[in-house]
């Protein structure tokens, strides 16, 4: 049986490109595609892939949060992060969430196939382009930023912030998260108080800077 792969990326052209390359290898099979975090969680539950190729900046639920959820409920599923970002904060949060690998999106397809092979064998794989960043962060044991969104806000508050930054209404957010609109409003106020931000524009900017969501193309 080949390596069963789920591709999670909000850009269809990226998913198609990866799928075409992976399909050329007899020992690999793309069994599903997802354009957002919530769909990714559903497909992981339904399809039980061996590996998820996970974009970090996705709508509804970003790649870091989605990775946390998957590793909590399906620890045997291995995840390779895909991102345009080589900054330390994106790499460290993804690895702490449980990813077994991290690749930059401008990597060559041969490296992608190699990463899938390595991670499927139970090892970790990091793109050579980010090795120096990872070494600096982990070998030197640099402390986590005290104002990181992942240390400042709770899981629910991060979900509310991402939804707000993506332009969803209170009712839409409440429906997506299966909570009441009043609860959404309460969390939104808590987020603003914790961050010292009093307008949606600045909240959106903060969410983008922290990797919870991506700017509109």
Q: pTM of the predicted model, to two decimals? A: 0.74
Range ranked top by mean pLDDT from 47-51, 148-152, 199-203:
47-51
Asked if pLDDT for residue 175 goes beyond 90, the answer is yes
How far is the C-alpha of 199 from the C-alpha of 204, rounded, in Å? 9
Say which range, 28-37, 139-148, 176-185, has the weakest mean pLDDT.
Answer: 139-148
Nearest CA to 58 out of 172, 163, 185, 152 is that of 163
**149-209 fold:** Arc Repressor Mutant, subunit A (1.10.10)
Which of 71 and 217 is assigned the larger pLDDT? Answer: 71
The residue-averaged pLDDT of 147-157 equals: 85
pLDDT for position 105: 85
Band (84; pLDDT cuts 50, 70, 90): confident
Share of the chain above pLDDT 70, in %: 91
pLDDT for position 97: 94
Two tokens, residue 26: 């007899």
Residues 6+ apart with CB under 8 A from 135: none
Chain mean position to CA 125: 17
Name the strand (E) or helix (H) holding 126: strand 125-126
Asked if pLDDT for residue 190 goes beyond 90, the answer is yes
* Spans of all domains in the chain: 3-138, 149-209
For the segment(s) 3-138, the CATH number from 3.40.47.10, 1.10.3720.10, 3.40.50.2300, 3.40.50.1980 is 3.40.50.2300
The residue-averaged pLDDT of 42-59 equals: 95
How far is the C-alpha of 65 from the C-alpha of 161, rounded, in Å? 13
Band (146; pLDDT cuts 50, 70, 90): low
Asked if pLDDT for residue 134 goes beyond 90, the answer is no
């Amino acid at each position: 049986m080949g390596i069963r792969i789920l591709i999670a990326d909000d850009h269809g052209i990226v998913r198609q490109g990866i799928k075409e390359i992976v399909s050329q290898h007899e020992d690999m099979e793309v069994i599903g595609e997802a354009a957002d975090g919530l769909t990714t969680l559903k497909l992981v539950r339904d399809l039980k892939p061996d590996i998820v190729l996970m974009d970090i900046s996705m709508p509804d639920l970003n790649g870091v949060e989605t990775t946390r959820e998957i590793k909590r409920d399906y620890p045997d599923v291995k995840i390779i992060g895909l991102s345009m970002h080589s900054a330390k904060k994106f790499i460290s949060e993804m690895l702490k969430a449980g990813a077994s690998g991290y690749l930059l999106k401008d990597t060559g397809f041969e490296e992608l196939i190699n990463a899938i092979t390595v991670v499927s064998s139970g090892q970790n794989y990091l793109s050579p382009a980010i090795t120096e960043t990872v070494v600096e962060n982990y070998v030197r044991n640099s402390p986590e930023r005290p104002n990181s969104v992942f240390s400042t806000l709770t899981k629910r508050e991060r979900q509310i912030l991402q939804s707000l930054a993506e332009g969803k209404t209170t009712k839409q957010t409440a429906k997506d998260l299966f909570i009441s609109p009043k609860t959404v409003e309460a969390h939104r106020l808590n987020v603003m108080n914790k961050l010292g931000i009093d307008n949606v524009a600045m909240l959106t900017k903060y969410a983008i800077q922290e990797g919870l969501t991506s700017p509109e193309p």
